[in-house]
Amino acid sequence: MTPPDLDRTSALFLDVDGTLVEIAATPEAVVVAPGLPGLLAQLHGLLDGAVAIVSGRPLSQIDELLHPFAGSAAGEHGVAIRFGDGTLEEAPARVAVPDDWREALTATAARWPGVRVEPKPHGVTVHYRLAPERANEVWRAVRALVPEDDPWFRLLPAREAVEIGLRAASKGQAVARLMKQAAFQGRRPVYVGDDFTDEAGISAAMELGGIGLRVGEAFGGDPARVRAWLKRGAERMAVPERSSTLPTGISP
């Protein structure tokens, strides 16, 4: 599919890894294109603040990666949401993956070179990108801690990783919550994401009269093409619309 043009009625919801930046061997190894933070800031201005980052990363990592851009954002798949005025909504600190689960996963991963445990404020992700042959073992180890009917936590599949996250949070809920904010109201939500957890965000955008763009389908799986599309949208919106009413005596 061909992604539609952005316009001044759009509200942008953007995933980070695999969408705005290329996937790397580890979360710390990602490279942010030099012009990306400035482009996001430009879009933020053109859309009167209706730009939100929606990521599985914690808010602190989002801000570090995209500095100096700072706007609305949802971290850990919606566990923490920061609104445009800086107000923060976040699950209580006590609602987090238990320490004994984290310790068990860390001890298990230590036996498997290439498997890495990424702690988050409320969840934890186990990456096996550097040891893909361990995929089944990683999933069994995590599933042993989190049964399918666990009331608090669920497993979230990702690219060569599995995350234990809060059952009560999703990117879809984050989109719905942000769309109630003044900067987003009355706009068409446009969600762009690449992974399983983005499906909830895509569904929410569509239910609210907007669209969802999967990076693999709309951009050939290439974040550089996402950035180019955003840049074209910013350039188009930055050009004043030509007035349909011409002064007397002036022909088009």
Residue 128: pLDDT band (50, 70, 90) is very high
Q: Residue 246 pLDDT more than 50? A: no
Task: Please list the residue range(s) of the chain that carry CATH number 3.30.70.1020.
Answer: 99-166
Q: Which fold has domain 99-166?
A: Alpha-Beta Plaits (3.30.70)
Q: What is the average pLDDT across 104-117? A: 96
Q: What is the pLDDT of residue 192?
A: 98
Whether residue 68 is preceded by a cis peptide bond, meaning omega within 30 degrees of 0, is: yes
Q: Residue 251 pLDDT more than 80? A: no
Q: Residue 244 pLDDT more than 60? A: no
Encoded tokens for 18:
């695999």
**Which residues lie across from 212 on neighbouring strands?**
191
Q: Find out if CATH 3.40.630.30 is the number for domain 10-91+169-238.
A: no
Q: What is the average pLDDT across 137-159? A: 94
Residue 250: pLDDT band (50, 70, 90) is very low
* pTM (two decimals): 0.91
Residue 249: pLDDT band (50, 70, 90) is very low
Catalytic one among 5, 15, 17, 100?
Answer: 15
Percent of the chain with pLDDT over 90: 90
Q: Is 149 designated active site? A: no
* Burial readout 12-31 (b: 16 or more C-beta within 10 A, e: otherwise): bbbbbbbbbbebeeebeebe
Which residues are within 8 A (CB) of 38 and not within 5 positions of it... i.e. 6 or more apart? 69
Q: Residue 160 pLDDT more than 60? A: yes
Q: What is the average pLDDT across 142-146? A: 96
Q: What is the pLDDT of residue 241?
A: 53
Q: Residue 98 pLDDT more than 50? A: yes
In this structure, the strands spanning 51-54 and 88-90 are: unpaired
Task: Please list the residue range(s) of the chain that carry CATH number 3.40.50.1000.
Answer: 10-91+169-238
Q: Residue 248 pLDDT more than 90? A: no
Mean pLDDT, the chain, rounded, equals 93
pLDDT digits (tens, 9 = 90+) for 37-55: 999 999 999 999 999 999 9
- CA dist 91 and 79 (Å) reads 6
Which residues are within 8 A (CB) of 15 and not within 5 positions of it... i.e. 6 or more apart? 53, 54, 55, 171, 192, 193, 194, 195, 198, 201
Q: Residue 2 pLDDT more than 90? A: no
Least confident of 21-35, 163-177, 232-246: 232-246
